[in-house]
Amino acid sequence: MDLLKTFALFVVTALAEIIGCYLPYLWLKQDRSAWLLLPAALSLALFAWLLTLHPTAAGRVYAAYGGVYIGVAVLWLWLVDKITPTATDLIGVAVCFVGMAIIMSGARQPA
């Protein structure tokens, strides 16, 4: 799987995870309907399934995915929560992306 497709899959996976966690937050903290738990559960199931689409070892995928998740979470902070990311937020995301690139491009042990 090429790098751009992998990155796009990570972004979609992160959105599924964030939505799956955000909807129960709305129910618990903002007194929204408990019916939000149904799409939350579906979103988390989608998240788990999306992680299976990567062709490499699960541990490496989870580690690299974490970097993209952080970037998408900061983007969510800005677009959904309407909180402007700080310079340190953006620097942290950049460091995470570098870490993700190192993990995904590092030497592989033969299977």
Taking the C-alpha atoms of residue 13 and residue 28, their distance in angstroms, rounded to an integer, is 23
User: Which pLDDT score, from 0 to 100, does residue 3 have?
Assistant: 73
| 64 confidence band (pLDDT: 50, 70, 90) | confident
The rounded radius of gyration (Å) of the Cα atoms in the chain is 16
Burial of 100 (0-12, 13-18, 19+ CB in 10 A): buried
- Chain segment 12-51, per-residue pLDDT in tens: 999 999 999 999 999 999 999 999 999 999 999 999 999 8
pTM above 0.85, yes or no: no
User: Which pLDDT score, from 0 to 100, does residue 21 have?
Assistant: 96
- Chain segment 74-101, per-residue pLDDT in tens: 999 999 999 999 999 999 999 998 988 8
CA-closest candidate to residue 43, choices 17, 64, 62, 69: 17
Q: Are 13 and 43 in contact (CB under 8 A)?
A: no
User: Which pLDDT score, from 0 to 100, does residue 110 have?
Assistant: 56
Run of H or E residues at 6:
helix 3-29
